[in-house]
Amino acid sequence: MKKFWISALKWLRTAFLAGIFVVVPIGISIWILIWIFNSVDGLLGPLVKHIFGRNIPGVGFGFTIVVIFVVGAIMSNVLGKRLVRWGEHQLGKVPLLNRVYGTLRDIFQSFSGNETRGFMQVVLVEFPSKGMHSIGFITNEAKDKNGKKIINVFIPHAPNPMTGYMQIVGEESITRTNISIEEGLKLVVSVGRICPPNLGEAISSIQPQADSGATTVVSQPPEVKPTDTTKTDKPDLV
């Protein structure tokens, strides 16, 4: 009877955890969509009421979706790209808006997988302490005055990759991997639950590097000073 209750409790715990892993992501996604819906609808609600004479829930959100698709369609051809570049050039002349727009554009393109403006490669970095390695994303590469390669690496926080640390390291401080940007982001967001198939290969490649630079310390026996036998103490004669 006791074994039955133990098995039943294990099954309930497993089923509960499995339900959490399914319900929580769906709930968060729905909550984000509702928040976006209410925010956009609240902003465009007065305009919709002015045009149609009454409030129509969902029109503002639907209008935003249509605008996004239209802009995406325009960006897919050469003429649209030239038009967007012209618009960005005009925004660049506005003192405050150019910094805000440029920063937000670069951040979003970094997470879009665009290698020209986004992350360049997934690497492993020895961080935050010796012997521990973290997933990092190369954001830029340069050379110092001596010709040594300097690499900017962004180490994101899990599960929110929008924040993290930016490290400036040398080539010898990173281990390059064949993990794609999308797989690396999934690894961070899932806090390691979704592992790319070649993660083990990347980790195993660290060991030879560590072994090649390892040094063996051989303990030496303590130095024994020779005893002077030529001089002996003689007992005092009474």
Residue 237 in this model has a pLDDT that exceeds 60: no
The pLDDT of residue 214 is 36
94 three-state secondary structure: coil
Specify whether the CB–CB gap between 206 and 126 falls below 8 A. Answer: no
Percent of the chain whose pLDDT exceeds 70: 79
Closest CA to 206 of 127, 153, 146: 127
The pLDDT of residue 111 is 59
DSSP string, 17-76: HHHHHHHHHHHHHHHHHHHHHHHHHHHHHHHHHHHHSS--TTHHHHHHHHHHHHHHHHHT
The CATH code belonging to domain 121-208 is 2.30.30
State how far the Cα of 137 lies from the Cα of 135, in Å rounded to an integer. 7
Specify whether the CB–CB gap between 225 and 213 falls below 8 A. Answer: no
The sheet with strand 149-156 has its strands ordered as: 164-170, 149-156, 133-143, 121-126, 174-176
Domain ranges of the chain: 1-94, 121-208
Residue 124 in this model has a pLDDT that exceeds 90: yes
Q: What's the chain's average pLDDT? A: 75
Task: State pLDDT tens for residues 26-82.
Answer: 787 788 777 877 777 777 777 777 777 777 777 767 777 887 788 778 777 777 778
The pLDDT of residue 217 is 33
State how far the Cα of 117 lies from the Cα of 207, in Å rounded to an integer. 32
Confidence bin at 4 (pLDDT 50/70/90): confident
Task: State pLDDT tens for residues 94-112.
Answer: 777 777 777 677 666 665 5
16 vs 211 pLDDT, higher one? 16
State how far the Cα of 59 lies from the Cα of 61, in Å rounded to an integer. 5
Quote the tokens at residue 186: 């999934």
State how far the Cα of 150 lies from the Cα of 131, in Å rounded to an integer. 22
Residue 156 phi, psi (nearest 5): -80, 155
- Highest averaged pLDDT of the listed ranges 16-25, 100-109, 157-166, 204-213: 157-166
Task: State pLDDT tens for residues 33-47.
Answer: 778 777 777 777 777
State how far the Cα of 110 lies from the Cα of 115, in Å rounded to an integer. 8
Say what the pTM is.
0.50
State how far the Cα of 175 lies from the Cα of 121, in Å rounded to an integer. 11
Task: State pLDDT tens for residues 129-183.
Answer: 888 889 999 988 998 888 889 999 999 988 888 788 999 999 988 999 999 888 8
State how far the Cα of 182 lies from the Cα of 43, in Å rounded to an integer. 33
